[in-house]
Amino acid sequence: MKRGVSILGASGSVGESTLKILRQFPEEFRLTSFSVHSNLQKAESIAKEFQPDILCISSDTADRAVLGNKIGNTNILYGSKSLEEIVQDPETETVVTAVVGASGIRPTIAAIRAGKKIGIANKETLVSCGPYIRSLLENSKSYLVPVDSEHNALFQLLENMKKDSLERIVLTASGGPFRKLPVEDLPKVTIEQALKHPTWNMGPKITIDSAGMINKGLEVIEAHFLFGFSYDKIGVVIHPQSVAHGLVETKDGASFVYASYPDMIFPVAHSLYYPNVVPKVLRSHPATSWGNLEFLEPDLERYPGLALAYEAGRAGGTSPSIFNASNEVAVELFLQGKILFTEIPTLIRNVLEKIPNTFPGDLEGYEEADRKARELAFHFPKDKVVHLC
């Protein structure tokens, strides 16, 4: 039987990579359901091509008259709550969570409770309420296979290594488009410049995160909850070529590196096939084609958001949730031209200092911290902002 796949966020870069794999392996997988937020034209195109059982338009304000309630044999559901419904379909084996932001949390929880394998590309789920998610997984048949290229690389390396040999894990980062720009010029960068990522083709929010390496900070927190390493044992290096995606350092001083062409088809295919192996070459990338590889320490004056992420992660509780929520608002304000690029980490710092850190025992506690952080970040008075030095 073909294995059923549900894609949350099919119109984004990870969603498109997942569809690419389904096209390559039509005898192995079937798209049972998918979601888009508001791209109705894309939704119609995917539905006609793959003929899934269910399509979800997750926007609560979508015009239902455009597509109606059915495309061929595909039923159409509307609204954000429908995301939680489609992941529970008994025909679905794997749920790929590729929606951006905290909107992915409740659907992921629904998939865990339904016992699904989850190809998790929505890092905000673990960042915002990692302890709660871990507790759910302990009492479920569900499990996570990371789809972010860095975490997937580490997942594959760690699975084949003895725990008592491990010393540290290291995430790689391209450094973004401003890696060599003088620090004093960072306040002047434009939205267009920040959206030009040197390696990856991603959505605007993740691209802005990557430009300031806040994305890597979120990944550090995610790695803590995925793999159980303390923050002192999770490193970050700048690797502009984006060939090596993760490194594992062992106690004897050796390092093991996972390398591949920078294309999301590799981690997506791995997550869909897991625990089986991907049966054929997706894209040849021999070592002779890698060129010179650089590994550099990140400059925290240039990337203060990375340092803030480590602080929030070490604080635990709701601090990571506050960090994530205030960052989402700050990125949106930057994309609207309301704050400077360098004011993104500044706003995050101010919100973290204003909202008390708590240690909830339920999801609602994390969601309340998220709500407070968004509200404060959105309405933070400009004359009260204390700028980072």
Q: Edge-to-edge strand order for the sheet containing 74-78?
A: 70-71, 74-78, 54-57, 29-36, 3-8, 94-97, 117-120, 143-146
Is position 124 annotated in a ligand binding site?
A: yes
Is position 13 annotated in a ligand binding site?
A: yes
Is position 123 annotated in a ligand binding site?
A: yes
Is position 148 annotated in a ligand binding site?
A: yes
Is position 350 annotated in a ligand binding site?
A: no
Phi, psi of 59 (to 5 degrees): -65, 130
Is position 382 annotated in a ligand binding site?
A: no
How far apart CA 170 and CA 223 sit, in angstroms, is 10
Contact 55, 4 (CB under 8 A): no
Q: How is 93-113 classified by DSSP, letter by letter?
A: SEEEE---SGGGHHHHHHHHH
C-alpha dist (Å) from residue 66 to 71, 73, 76: 11, 17, 11
Is position 159 annotated in a ligand binding site?
A: no
Is position 12 annotated in a ligand binding site?
A: yes
For residue 300 the two structure tokens come to 């925290």
Is position 232 annotated in a ligand binding site?
A: no
Is position 39 annotated in a ligand binding site?
A: yes
How far apart CA 336 and CA 255 sit, in angstroms, is 43
One-letter amino acid identity for 124?
E
Is position 329 annotated in a ligand binding site?
A: no
Is position 242 annotated in a ligand binding site?
A: no
What is residue 58's three-state secondary structure?
Answer: coil
Residue list, annotated binding site for 1-deoxy-D-xylulose 5-phosphate: 123, 149-150, 174, 197, 210, 215-216, 219
Residue list, annotated binding site for Mn(2+): 148, 150, 219
Residue list, annotated binding site: 12-14, 39, 122-124, 148-150, 174, 197, 203, 210, 215-216, 219
Residue list, annotated binding site for NADPH: 12-14, 39, 122, 124, 203
